[in-house]
Amino acid sequence: MSKNEMYDLIIVGGGPAGLSAGIYAMRAALKTVLIESGVPGGQVAITKEVENYPGFIEIGGFDLCEKFLLHAKHYELEILEKEAVATDPGIEYHSVRLADGTLLKAHAVILAAGGTARKLNIPGENEHFGSGVSYCATCDGFFFRDKIVAVVGGGDTALEDALYLSKITRKVYLIHRREAFRGSRILQQRVFAEPRIEIIYNTVVTAINGDDSGVRAISLKDTQSGAQRDIDTEGVFIFVGFTPNNTLVPAGIKTNGTGYVITDEKCETDIPGIFAVGDLRQKYANQIVLAAADGCTAALAAAHYVETRKDAQTCQAAG
Ligand code: NAP
């Protein structure tokens, strides 16, 4: 890479969406660079087990990411371990600025920066992540078959995932800080009708307690009376919101009320040649297989976009 090198495609983010985009872009013969500041794999790399990616009945999150990475490297995808700090849309080309001041130029950019589950920031949360604390019911619910779990939150995700967990586990405590759920009416009705869900309103979790083998209990505080108590549980599913990593999304690109990028069916944003994929993009569900599918869609669409642009530039040059 040199400072003035022009790429066909820059991919920002090395999770399943970004790496899948990289594989398809290389196979489409696009001159591509992928920028990833952390460990390739994104959120999946820190997921203990994955049991819903087709082809793998069970695979460690890190191992699955390793396979994505090896697959991308097989096609000689250039991967830059650098931090991207801005995307600058342009008429002639788009550019991505790196923290070290380098400016990379390309015809197309795929933003695949993912998102981050909001945390409670309470004692025990980080310590027991992956061994009792989870931010994904479909990823980890199965490990709590016939056990008692707690779900924290009162939005659609908490309600939906409490219902999902109630089909797998023995009992679900649904703990919400207020006495009315934010989630949709229909989900509320289903939650109220599910005997395996016990709702605890007006309550916050103040600590997650356990030992080396996992979570054993959580400490609760009633927000009205101030009363404190512990309840036994082996799993704590925290759904208090998810924040898309949208700091690299340039102004002028439409996002929804919660910061997810709105795209068309090609994953293209309002700015031609700039695509958003994976957990950054507004869609029905956030799953690894969908992130990979987004990467595929965006790379194929980017290939078409780049080809069209190059043809137009050739025609222009020919007068
Ligand atoms: P959300 O709607 O932002 O809800 C977050 C929940 O967590 C709220 O109930 C909030 O309580 C609670 N909370 C936030 N910070 C907390 C804290 N520090 N301690 C305790 N509780 C805390 O997030 P979401 O449920 O992930 O949904 C995000 C978006 O995706 C929403 O627009 C939702 O409609 C959408 N979604 C839709 C579906 C669907 O349609 N099937 C499924 C999932 C998500 P308060 O209510 O008191 O603020």
Residues 220 and 293 in one domain: no
pLDDT at res. 47 = 66
Query: The tokens of 119 are what?
Result: 């945390």
Cβ–Cβ < 8 Å for 109, 263: no
Last residue of a domain, one of 212, 238, 264: 238
The secondary structure element, H or E, covering residue 152 is: strand 148-152
Q: Is 270 noted as a catalytic residue in this protein? A: no
Residue 82 lies in a domain: yes
Q: Are residues 179 and 279 in the same domain?
A: no
296 belongs to the catalytic site: no
pLDDT at residue 5 in the model? 74
Q: Which of 222, 238, 254 corresponds to the end of one domain?
A: 238
Residue 226 located in a structural domain:
yes
Q: What number of other Cβ atoms are within 10 A of residue 5's Cβ? A: 13
Residue 253's identity, in one-letter code, is I
- Please check whether residue 1 lies inside any domain of the structure: no
What is the rounded CA–CA span in Å between residue 290 and residue 293?
Answer: 5
Nearest-angstrom CA–CA distance, 195 and 190: 10
Catalytic residue flag (residue 294): no
Beta strand 274-276 with 103-111 is: parallel
Which of the following is catalytic: 8, 88, 100, 140?
Answer: 140
Kindly state whether residues 17 and 110 are assigned to the same domain: yes
Decide: helix, strand or coil at residue 247. Answer: coil
Does 214 map to a domain? yes
Would you state the pLDDT for residue 157? 86
Q: What is the pLDDT of residues 8-17, one digit of tens each?
A: 999 999 999 9
- pTM for the model stands at 0.75
- 227: CATH: 3.50.50.60
Catalytic position from the list 8, 65, 136, 279: 136
Residues 6 or more apart from 172 whose CB is under 8 A from it? 148, 149, 150, 151, 162, 165, 166, 196, 197, 198
* Domain identity same for 109 and 248: yes
C-alpha 251/C-alpha 241 separation (Å) is 23
pLDDT of residue 38: 83
Cβ-in-10-Å burial (0-12, 13-18, 19+) of 201 comes to middle
The residues that bridge with 175 in the sheet, in sequence order, are 152, 200
45 found inside a domain: yes
User: Does residue 247 share a domain with residue 105?
Assistant: yes
State how many domains the chain has.
2
From atom 26 of ligand 1, which residue's Cα is the shortest distance away?
241
**Pocket around ligand 1 at a 6 A CB cut-off:** 120, 152-158, 160, 177-178, 182, 204, 239-242, 258
Domain extent for 279: 6-116+242-318
Q: How far is the CA of 181 from the centre of ligand 1 (A)?
A: 9
Residue 169 placed within a domain: yes
Each of the 319 residues of the chain gets a pLDDT tens digit; together they read: 555 679 999 999 999 999 999 999 999 999 999 999 987 877 787 666 677 899 999 898 889 999 999 999 999 999 999 999 999 999 999 999 999 999 999 999 999 999 988 999 999 999 999 999 999 898 899 999 999 999 999 998 899 999 999 999 999 999 999 999 999 999 999 999 999 999 999 999 999 999 999 999 999 999 999 999 999 999 999 999 888 999 999 999 999 998 999 999 999 999 999 999 999 999 998 889 999 999 999 999 999 999 999 988 888 888 7
Residue in the structure block whose two tokens are 């090896």 = 70
Q: Using CA positions, which residue lies closest to atom 11 of ligand 1?
A: 154
**Please, is 97 exposed, middle or buried when counting C-beta atoms within 10 Å of its C-beta (0-12, 13-18, 19+)?**
middle
